Each structure stands twice: as structure tokens, then as C-alpha cells.
Amino acid sequence: MVGCSFFSGHINPAEIGPVPPPVSPASQREIKDAIDRGVAFLVQRQNGNGSWGSPGEQQDYMVICPVPGGHMAFRAATTALCVLALIEAKSDVPGATEALERGEDWLIENLPEVRLSSERIMYNNWAHGFGTQALARMLKERPLSAERRRSVVAEIEGQFQRLKRYQHLDGGWGYYSWGYIAGRTPAAATTFTTAVVLVAMREALEAGASPPQGLAETALRELKKQRKPDFSYSYYFGSARRSPMYELNLAPASLGRTQTCNLAMRLWGDKATTDAVIRAWLNRLFARDGWLSMSRKQQFPHQGYFRIAAYFFYQGHYHAAHCIHLLPPEERPFFQDQLAHVLLPLQEKDGSWWDFALYDYHQQYGTAYAIMALGRCLRSDASADDDGGP
């Protein structure tokens, strides 16, 4: 099936594409039970100091990670995602509340210590982005004392300064750099990292913490520059400029990152990111989810078709869950059913989800993403033990 809309007599390529067939809805109980198993996994795998993730044991192949800065960045980003997941889950799983409190304490104490991983590796940008989002969520949803609130606000402002310092010259953020000039990197930003930071800054703004003037605006211009007419997004501008038809820059490779970028653009008021665009790209994701699924658990980055990397999987579906809630309430059940249909069978026996072996961070961040995505598959007007129907 193909849907389309017309403007000025032309078909908008961003609003057309395949539509997935309906699926049998999962019950609300099935979704909640899966979330609780995921929460129990996070409780069990939390480190003694309150963080999540570690370098683990060296495997046959691992992505480059400078010591100690790279691992500090990975741990901080992973911990931030786990804190977000536990805040959203509001689970009564034994130990969940205590695990959340320890995670928040670790994040507030250690996030200020995250710096540039190395001259060429900027994993710290993931920590600054997700760390900012977790802190903003604490401001909005957690019962904080006045002193604690001041500490969280101060830390958000500190993260804004880190993001300003490490913003690429093109206006966005990435995680690899091939040089460093007077505190700024000339490397091209990746779209999906830039969008993660923009989502975090928007949430912080809504919580009462304002980013430095111009920080978001330059990043939004960078995202628009990398957006194609069909609303697929290039991997990064340098690659798109030199090789626009390279596999990694084509629409199938953008199934996950377009969800992240659409969310960021919509949250910051981009009028071109309409409901029709959101709807079309959610349809594309679920109709063509196999391109992402075939990459899951591959050993090397960009090993899948269209050079899709395994670690795009859960991030893309997590942000798709957010995009679903940008649509009118009556349109959401179809996509919620599709998302639950993808995620529920992928839960491991130990309660985790993971897509790419990344030292000892992957199960924790994958589980956090999946918990939050499934939480957005729950019907606000449905009982816990219904059959999942709208």
C-alpha cells in the first residue's frame, strides 16, 4: 500500500512509502510484564557505585575506546539511559526505586567529570546529550528537595557548556574527530547524534533550563542541511557531499536516524516535519524493519545491508516511540501495536535487550531503550490485563 498527499500539484516524497500490514496486538499485561522483566534486569546489573556498564572482558573485536575517557563517557551515557528508563517505568519491581536513587546520585556526582575522550574520539557527546535529558527528567518528574534541584540545574548548565565547547564547527555533534582546533573540532557532525542533543536540550528547556543562545539554532540548521526531500537524513555532511548515493546515505539506511531527526525537528518547531511526514516514516520503519533487524547482533559496525550498524536498532525504535506520540491519539494504536510486535520477541531470557556487543554496556543501554519504547506502547485508557485491542 502507498499513501501520498499533494501540495501545489506535486507529490511530496516525504509523505509516501510502504504501509505495514496490521499485526495482532499484544496484551497490555504482556507489555507490562516485559517491562518489569527489563527493570529487574537493570536492578540486578547495576554496579555497586550506582552506575551501569563497564569495560568488561575484552572480546575478539571491540570498537576503539580510549582509556579512561572513552569508558567514562560510555558509562555515563548508559547510566543516564538507565535512569531515564527507571523514571519512566515507575515499576514496583523490588529494588527499582533504590536503584534509581543510586543511579541519580552517581550521575550528579560523575557527569561533571566526563570530558573529551581523546583528540579524535568524542564519545563524551553521547554522555552530555543523554545526561542532560536524564537530569531534565529528574527536574520534571522526581520529588527533589530545593538543594537537590539547585544541584541538578547547575549540572544541566554545566552540560550546556560542555556541549557548546564540543560543538563541531558545522553546528552539530558527532563522536569522531580528525582534528582539534582551539577547543572546537572541524569534524562533520552525525545527524543522529546532533538530534539526540537537540531532544535533550528541548527537554531541559521545558524543565526551566535555557541552553546558551544560538546553540540549538546552529544545530537545527545543520540538520536541515543534511535532510533530503524525502526526509531521509545523511549520515554526516562530508559523506553526503562526496558520495550522496553511498549506501549509508540512502533512505533504507535512514530508517532509524530519521525517527531521531524527525523528533528533534518537530520538538523545535520545524513546520516541514508534519504529521504526514511522521506517519509516513513510521510506516516505512515498520514495513521495512527487516533492514534494521538483519543488522542486529552483527559483530562489526556497518556490517548490514545499506551499511546499517547494529547499534542503530534500539535507538531508532526508541525515538520512533516518541514520534508515535506526536500523532493524534486516534492514530497511535496502529503504530504502538507495530512497535510492540517488533520488540517483545527480542527480549532475552535474562530480561535484557541488546543489539551490538559493546564491552559491557550493550545489554544495559539496549534494555533501557526497550523499556522506554514499550512504555509508550501502553494504552492510557486500557486495563493491565486486557487483550491489547484499541
Q: Which one has a higher pLDDT value, 5 or 113?
A: 113
What is the Cα–Cα distance from 201 to 264, expressed in whole angstroms?
Answer: 10
Question: In the chain, pLDDT over 90 holds for what percent of residues?
Answer: 78
Overall average pLDDT of the 90-100 stretch:
97
For residue 14, what is the DSSP state?
Answer: G
Planar angle of CA 122, 127, 128, nearest 5 degrees: 90
What is the Cα–Cα distance from 178 to 307, expressed in whole angstroms?
Answer: 21
What is the Cα–Cα distance from 163 to 209, expressed in whole angstroms?
Answer: 14
Q: How many CA atoms lie within 13 A of 12 on its CB side?
A: 19
In this prediction, residue 237 carries a pLDDT of 63
90-99, 241-250, 368-377: least confident range: 241-250
In this prediction, residue 279 carries a pLDDT of 98
In this prediction, residue 390 carries a pLDDT of 36
Residues 237/255, Cβ–Cβ less than 8 Å: no
- Residue 385 inside a domain? The answer is no
User: Residue 387: pLDDT above 70?
Assistant: no
CATH assignment of the domain containing 268: 1.50.10.10
For residue 24, what is the DSSP state?
Answer: P
In this prediction, residue 185 carries a pLDDT of 54
Beta strands in the chain (DSSP E): 2-3, 6-7, 10-11, 17-18
21-30, 37-46, 187-196, 311-320: least confident range: 187-196
What is the Cα–Cα distance from 26 to 386, expressed in whole angstroms?
Answer: 9
Per-residue burial over 93-125, b = 16 or more CB atoms within 10 Å of its CB, e = otherwise: beebeebbebbbebbbebbeebebbbeebbbbb
Range of the domain at 192: 2-375
Where do we find the cell 582534528?
Answer: 179
What is the Cα–Cα distance from 191 to 49, expressed in whole angstroms?
Answer: 33
The count of structural domains within the chain is 1
In Å, the largest CA–CA distance within the chain is 62
What is the Cα–Cα distance from 332 to 338, expressed in whole angstroms?
Answer: 10
What is the Cα–Cα distance from 138 to 150, expressed in whole angstroms?
Answer: 12
User: Residue 4: pLDDT above 90?
Assistant: no
| pLDDT band of 386, cuts 50, 70, 90 | low
pLDDT tens track for 297-348: 998 888 888 889 999 999 999 999 999 999 999 999 999 999 999 999 999 9
Pairing of strands 2-3, 17-18: antiparallel
Residues 366/40, Cβ–Cβ less than 8 Å: no
- Residue 390 inside a domain? The answer is no
Residues across the chain = 390
Overall average pLDDT of the 127-142 stretch:
98
- Residue 275 inside a domain? The answer is yes
- Residue 268 inside a domain? The answer is yes
Overall average pLDDT of the 226-236 stretch:
92
- Residue 368 inside a domain? The answer is yes
- Residue 124 inside a domain? The answer is yes
pLDDT tens track for 183-230: 555 567 899 999 999 999 999 999 999 999 999 999 999 999 999 999
- Residue 170 inside a domain? The answer is yes
- Residue 386 inside a domain? The answer is no
Kindly write down the DSSP assignment for every residue of 274-337, as one continuous string: -HHHHHHHHHHHHHSHHHHHTTTT-SSTT-SGGG--GGGHHHHHHHHHHHHTTS-GGGHHHHHH
15-19, 23-27, 233-237, 276-280: least confident range: 233-237
Residues 172/189, Cβ–Cβ less than 8 Å: yes
